Chain A
Amino acid sequence: MSQRRGWQVAAVALLALFAFFVYESLQLSLGDALGPGPGFFPFWLGLLGIILAVVLLVQLRLGRVDLGADVLAFDRAGVRNVVRVLAGLAVASALLEVAGFRLAMLALLVYLLVVLGARRWGVIAIFAAAGSFGVYHVFFGLLKVQLP
C-alpha cells in the first residue's frame, strides 16, 4: 500500500467520524436563552473537521502533501507478531476478572514471550512468575491498588 493511499483511508475515516459527531450533536441542544447548549461545541468542531478532511483529500488528490515515504512499510512477519500480541492481550484482558490477575497475567506473559521468540524456559518461567505474582504483591499488597 502506498503512503498516499494510507492517508486517503485515514482522511475518509476521520471524515466519517466527524460526520457522525455532527449528526449526534444535532440530536442535542445547540443553544437556548441561557447560552450555548451541549451540542454547540461538538457540532462546530465536527463541521470544521468535515471541511478539513475534505481539504486533505483534495490536497492528496492534487499531490500537495509532502509525505515522508512513498511506501507504507509493513514487515509481514512483524505484523503477524503484532496481531498475535494484540490477540493475546485481548484474551488475557477478557479473562482478567474471570481467572484473576495472577493467572491471567502469568498466561499472558508466557504467551507473549513465546510469540516474540524467547526460548529459555527457565528465564520465561521466572519472568512470568515475577510479572504476575510479584507485580500483584507489589500493587495489591504494598500499594493497596485493587486488582482482581
Chain B
Amino acid sequence: MEGLQFLASGFAAALSIQNLLFALAGCVLGTLIGVLPGLGPAAGTAILIPLTFKLDPTGAIIMLAAIYYGAMYGGTITSVLINVPGEAASVVTCLDGYQMARQGRAGTALGIAAIGSFVGGVVAALALAMVAPPLARFALSFGPPEFFSLMFLGLCLVTGLAGASLVAGLLMTLFGLLLALIGIDPVRGAPRFTFGIVELYDGLGFVPVVMGLFGVAEILLTIEKPFRQALATRIEGLWPNREEWKRSGGAIGRGTVIGFLLGLIPGVGAVIPTFMAYIVEKRLSRNPEKFGTGVIEGVAAPETANNAYANASMIPLLVLGVPSSPTIAVLMGAFIINGLTPGPFLFKERPDLVWAVIASFFIGNVILLFLNLPLVGLWARLLRVPYQYLCAGTLLFCVVGAYSLKGALFDVGVMLVFGVVGYLLRKLDFPLAPAVLALILAPFMEKSLRTSLEISGGDFGIFLERPISATLLVLAALIVAVATSRLAALKSIRRGP
C-alpha cells in the first residue's frame, strides 16, 4: 500500500498546470508519431528530445514518456485504415483491424482499441505503483556484479529474441557495445578510439545514433517505397454494441495480464506481447478460423496488451535501470541527458520525480482516451497528407534535433552516417534493437564489470559466487540455449520432413 501513498504525492505534482500541459503535448505528439507511417516511437521520441531541453527534468520526462505511450496508441490508426502499422507493436492489429475497416467497421475497431489501450494502460500503471517500491528496495542490495549480470541478462534476452540468426543478433550487440566505448574511459579517464578528434572525447552521442538508425533510416526506406494512401472509409460508430462488448471483455482482461507480465521482463520488446495476446484469443475462441477476417477480439487483445506492456516496461527501467526496447532506451537516454540515472537509487534520491512520472501515466492514459475517441477522425485525416511533406518535415526535425543537442555539426554528420548504416541493415534484415540497447547499457556494464574485477582482484568467480548474480547468469545461459534450439526447430520445420 505504500505505493499508493507515494502515488498520491505524485498526483499532486503531475496535476500541476505545467505538467498537465507537458503530458498533453506529449500525448498529442506521440499520437502524431504513431499515426504517421515511417516514423516509429524510438525515432520519434529521440527527435523530440530537444523540445524538452529547457524544461525541468520532471516535465521533460513526463512529456517524453507521454510521447512514448501516445505513439503506442496512435500506431493502431494506420494499422486499421491502411493496413500499415504505425509502429511494430501494431503489426498484429492489421490482421483483423484492416478487415473490419473494409467491412465499414473502422470506427468500432478504433474505438475498442482505444478503450482496451486505456484499460491496459491504467491497470499496468496501477500495478507499477504497487510493484515498484518493494522491487526497488530489493534492487538496492545489488552490487556491481549483480548489476553487470542483470544487464548481461537483458542483452541476452534482446539478442535471443532478435530475429533469424542468433549470431547476427550477438554481432549487433557487440557492435553497439563497441560504439559506446568510443570516448573517455569512465574508470581511468584515458581517451579511447578518438584519433585526436575532439568531438569524439564525449563519445558518439546516443541520440544522433538512434535518430540515424531509426529516424533517418525509416524515412529513407519510405522514400524508396512510399506507403499507400488511407482507405476511403467513414469512421463512425466508435462505441461497440452489446455483443461486441461481450466478446471484447475477456480479451481486454487477458491482454492486460499478458502485456503487464511480459513488460516486466527486460528485453522482450513490444511485438511479442501483442502476438501472444492474439494467439491466446485465437486458441480460446470457438471460431478460431474467423480470426483474420475482422473479429473484434483480434483488435481488442493485442491493443490492450500493447499498452499494458508500454506501461509495465517502465518497471525494469525505473527500478533496475535496464531498458526493455529501443524506445525505452531512448527514454533512458533522456534521463541521462537530464542528469538522472534510472535504477533503484532514483527512487531513493528523486522520489518526487519518479512518482510524478508514474502518476502522469494515469493522466496520460485519460488524455489519450479523449484524443483517440472523439478526435480519431482528425488523426485519420492526417494520413491523407502526401508522404513527401511528411518525409521532408521529419528529416528537418532530425537535423534540428541532432544539431541542438550540443550545437555541433558533428552530431548531424553522425546521424547521417548512422542513417545510411541503419538503412542498409534494415534492408538486410539485421536486428537493430540489440545494438541500441547495447549502446546505452555499455558504459554501465563496463563500469560494473571493471569495478567487480577490482573488488575480486581480477577473479571472474565473483559473478558466480554471489547468489543473485549467479542466478541471473544461469538465466542468461538458459535464454541463449532456448533461442538456439528455437531457431534450430524453426529451421527444421521450414525444411520439412
Contacts and interface: CB of A to CB of B under 8 A. Distances in A.
Interface of A: 3, 6-7, 10-11, 14, 17-18, 21, 24, 28-29, 31, 34-42, 45-46, 48-49, 52-53, 55-56, 59, 64-69, 72-75, 78-79, 81-82, 85-86, 89-90, 92-94, 96-97, 105, 108-109, 112-113, 116-118, 123, 127, 131, 135, 139, 143-148
A117 B388 CA distance: 7
Contacts of B165: 56, 59, 65-66
Nearest to B407: A146
Given A6-B427, A118-B386, A67 B164 contact: yes
B400 A82 contact: no
B458 A96 contact: no
A139 B404 contact: yes
Contact of A72 (B171, B396, B397, B428): B428
Contacts of B190: 28-29, 38
B391 to A, nearest CB: 6
B382 interface: no
Interface of B: 50-51, 53-54, 164-165, 167-168, 170-171, 174-175, 177-178, 181, 185, 187-188, 190, 192-193, 219-220, 223-225, 386-389, 391-393, 395-397, 399-400, 403-404, 407, 409, 412-413, 416, 419-420, 423-425, 427-430, 446, 449-450, 453-454, 457-458, 487, 490-491, 494
A38 B188 CA distance: 7
Contacts of A79: 224
A96 B446 CA distance: 36
B428 A56 contact: no
A45 B388 contact: no
Given A28-B192, A35-B453, A89-B416, A53 B171 contact: yes
Contacts of A40: 450
A42 B409 contact: no
Contacts of A56: 165, 167-168, 171
Contacts of A75: 224-225
A78 B224 contact: yes
A18 B427 CA distance: 22
Contacts of B403: 96, 147-148
Nearest to B454: A35
Contact of A105 (B50, B396, B427, B458): B396
B380 to A, nearest CB: 21
Given A38-B185, A65-B168, A85-B391, 19 more contacts: A3-B429, A17-B175, A28-B190, A36-B454, A38-B190, A41-B450, A45-B178, A49-B174, A65-B164, A66-B494, A72-B428, A78-B225, A81-B223, A85-B395, A93-B409, A105-B399, A118-B388, A143-B50, A147-B404
